[in-house]
Structure 1
Amino acid sequence: MTENKAQALPKTTEEAQAKESAQPQLEGPLQTEHGTTTIAESVVQKLAGIAAREVPGVYAMGTAARRAINSLSERIPGSQTNVSGGVSVEKGERQAAIDVSIVVEYGVAIADVAEDIRRSVIQAVEHGTSLEVIEVNVNVTDIHLPEDDDDAASDRSDRLE
């Protein structure tokens, strides 16, 4: 009687394994029985960049060098605004980690702006891509002072005269 039970268990296990291999394992909304959806890192970068720019208190995205390059490229007729500047992404099949570099407006609470950015980026990326955002790191590279606008305006008027 003990031999019959021992012989029956492997057969049951083999049947279970055969059943499992016959049915594909669906891992989430991006992998279905009808196919797989892949999302490029640039898509995640753009979604995160747009979401971060919409947060009150964010003056600009990126480091000083990135902003200089963007301002030059925006002067070229027909060029597009770089919405992914200041955003870097590490993306796997189901998860993403995002780093955002920003310039904040003078007078805002940086911790509050950073938290608002995290909330906005996570919502935009998870809703738009179905990827799980495991972290959003916010790097504040500068503070924009009101005098900076006055200096830039006077520089432009000096050049026009």
Structure 2
Amino acid sequence: MSEAADRTGTHAATRSRNQTGEKGTTLKGRSGVDAPPGIRGDTTVADRVVAKIAGMAAREIPEVHNLGAGMARALGAVKERVPGSGSDVTRGVAVEVGERQTAVDLDLVIEYGASIVDTAGDVRANVIQAVERMTGLEVVEVNIAVHDVHLPDEEDDSEQGGGRVA
């Protein structure tokens, strides 16, 4: 960390792997009695944490029916029927996390009748706000691929245990 960054309290970040081998970003704090208590020590944010935050933020938008492409949704619906497996909020979410920035890719199924452009904008804004607020990482892009439109008369994955997490 440079002296100028040290004086201003700016955090440095590095990519790391924790004891289980999971990738994450470590936000380096300062040490010593002259450093404010809130920045003494390091904080590591796993890539999976960023993916979960992005997945939950995308699902908060009412026009989003589900996340994931066709095969991922089908496998997810089967997996969720297994007792104790729960739902996978990262299905349909891919993240690339760097030292200070992250990029998010989302695969969406939108409710019929919703404006895809408006819904994508709402999802993008909500994901950026949630990830930046919760992790301190700058979200440089949120790429959205709409894989399907859910029609009102279609059989719903949620009836089989694989629907949207609200």
Same fold (TM over 0.5): yes
Richer in strand (by share): 2
More divergent stretch after superposition (122-131 vs 24-33): 24-33
Q: RMSD of the alignment, in Å?
A: 2.4
Q: Which residue of 1 aligns with 2:71?
A: 65
Residue by residue over 1:9-53, the C-alpha shift from the partner in whole angstroms, topping out at 9 and shown as x without a partner, is xxxxxxxxxx939x5885438332122222111000000000001
Match of 2:28 among 14, 28, 31: 31
Q: Which residue of 1 aligns with 2:88?
A: 82
1:53 aligns with 2:59: yes
> How many residues matched?
133
Match of 1:131 among 123, 134, 137: 137
Gaps of 5+ in 2: 13-26, 31-39, 160-166
Amino acid at match of 1:31: K
* Percentage identity across paired residues of the two chains: 48
CA distance in 2, matches of 1:83, 1:59: 13
Within-5 A mapping of 1:1-161: 20=3, 26-28=9-11, 30-33=27-30, 34-149=40-155
Provide the secondary structure at the position in 2 that maps to 1:83.
Answer: coil
CA distance in 1, matches of 2:98, 2:124: 19
Residue by residue over 1:40-98, the C-alpha shift from the partner in whole angstroms, topping out at 9 and shown as x without a partner, is 11000000000001101101101001101110011111111100110000001111000
TM-score (norm: length of structure 2) = 0.73
CA distance in 2, matches of 1:25, 1:108: 46
TM-score (norm: length of structure 1) = 0.75
Amino acid at match of 1:108: A
Provide the secondary structure at the position in 2 that maps to 1:146.
Answer: coil
